[in-house]
């Protein structure tokens, strides 16, 4: 197994570097609270093992003692083509590493996630990631980074909702609207789309925090800070992944807009 990533998570360094000149106003007790919230010592205990790439994903599940049932493996394409894998995003962490393990093993590590740039702080996962941050200086490079991912020889993994699922007014746990990028880029690069349904959910606390953020009109995704804690609490959990049949890229013609096609694929995912 490949081992070489040893850089550990340093919450203080990450927060202060992103805050820039304003970092001097962040009190130490806030940093200490964040360290406890994300379980920095627990995460670093795993990072010290030094796994990289697909090995990182597989051994992360082992470290958490998480069991995953996979259905529809026979739907994974065998021919020599490149695909866009799209999934709902119920958990925010385990769903990502699980798909990295399942698809990474199936395609010999030739996969790339389009992910939040914060995940680039995990050196073991970084080789599988194309960071996305539409804010700040990196925003200028965003279109080219996406183009490069779809033009590569790697299969692309996306969570088109952009953020993990929320509790709807009817109580159902579901993604918000899916971004159309996976439709437009899959058509442009002639990649068939493979829908994936990940079955699982976070705690009531997480959804309540997300609901209050929406009610208060907060632009900052506060709920995201609690995702490492959700991952920590998911230890010994059991989840299920259902892989659907590839949807030919030619399906997404001009009879509907890319945005409408994106929502239709989303609905197909939830029907798996």
For residue 159, pLDDT beyond 90: yes
Query: What is the pLDDT, as a whole number, of residue 135?
Result: 45
Rg (CA), the chain: 19
Q: Characterise 72 by phi-psi region: left (phi > 0), alpha (psi -120 to 50), beta (else).
A: left
Is the pLDDT at 235 greater than 80, yes or no? Answer: yes
pLDDT higher than 80, residue 147: yes
CB 74 within 8 A of CB 194: no
What percentage of the chain carries pLDDT values higher than 90? Answer: 51
Q: Residue 42: how many CB atoms within 10 A of its CB?
A: 14
Classify domain 68-271 at the CATH superfamily level. Glycerol-3-phosphate (1)-acyltransferase (3.40.1130.10)
Average pLDDT over every residue of 135-142: 51
Query: Which residues are paired to 116 by β-bridges?
Result: 132
pLDDT score, position 99: 94
Distance CA 223, CA 117 (A): 17
Q: Which residue has the tokens 């009879």?
A: 255
pLDDT at 117: 62
For the entire predicted model, the pTM comes to 0.87
Do 227 and 186 meet the contact criterion of CB atoms below 8 Å apart? no
Where are the domains positioned within the chain?
Answer: 68-271
Whether pLDDT at 121 is above 60: yes
Interatomic CA distance for residues 270 and 266, integer angstroms = 7
Where do the H-state alpha helices sit in 67-141?
94-106
pLDDT digits (tens, 9 = 90+) for 17-69: 777 777 777 888 888 888 898 899 999 999 899 899 999 999 999 999 999 99
Using pLDDT thresholds of 50, 70 and 90, give the confidence band for residue 226. confident
How many CA within 13 A on the CB side of residue 219? 1
Give the E-state strand segments of the chain in sequence order.
Answer: 67-71, 83-87, 111-116, 129-132, 155-158, 166-167, 173-174, 192-199, 238-243
Report how far apart the first and last C-alpha atoms of the chain are (Å, whole number): 34
Q: Quick one: pLDDT at residue 196?
A: 97
Asked if pLDDT for residue 141 goes beyond 60, the answer is no
- Stated as kind and residue range, the H or E segment containing 167 is strand 166-167
Directed axis angle between helix 258-271 and helix 181-188, to 10°?
100
Token pair of 23, please? 């970092």
């Amino acid at each position: 197994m490949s081992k070489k990533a040893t850089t550990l998570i340093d919450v203080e360094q990450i927060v202060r570097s992103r805050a820039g000149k304003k970092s001097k106003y962040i009190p130490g007790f806030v940093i200490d609270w964040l360290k406890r919230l994300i379980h920095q010592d627990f995460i670093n205990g795993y990072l010290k093992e030094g796994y990289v790439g697909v090995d990182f994903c597989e051994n992360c599940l082992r470290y958490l003692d998480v069991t995953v049932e996979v259905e529809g493996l026979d739907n994974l394409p065998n021919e020599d083509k490149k695909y866009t894998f799209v999934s709902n995003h119920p958990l925010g962490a385990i769903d990502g590493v699980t798909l990295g393990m399942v698809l990474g093993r199936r395609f010999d590590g030739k996969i790339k996630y389009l992910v939040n740039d914060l995940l680039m702080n995990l050196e073991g996962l970084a080789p599988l990631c194309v960071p996305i941050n539409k804010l700040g200086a990196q925003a200028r490079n965003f279109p080219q980074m996406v183009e490069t991912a779809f033009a590569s020889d790697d299969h692309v993994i996306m969570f088109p909702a952009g953020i993990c699922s929320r509790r709807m007014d009817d109580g159902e746990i579901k993604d918000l609207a899916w971004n159309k990028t996976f439709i437009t880029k899959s058509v442009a690069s002639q990649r068939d789309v493979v829908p994936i349904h990940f079955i699982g959910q976070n705690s009531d606390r997480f959804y309540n925090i997300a609901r209050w953020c929406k009610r208060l009109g907060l632009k900052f995704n506060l709920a995201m800070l609690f995702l490492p804690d959700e991952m920590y609490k998911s230890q010994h959990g059991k989840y299920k992944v259902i892989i659907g049949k590839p949807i030919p890229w030619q399906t997404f013609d001009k009879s509907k807009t890319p945005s409408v096609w994106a929502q239709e694929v989303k609905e197909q995912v939830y029907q798996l």
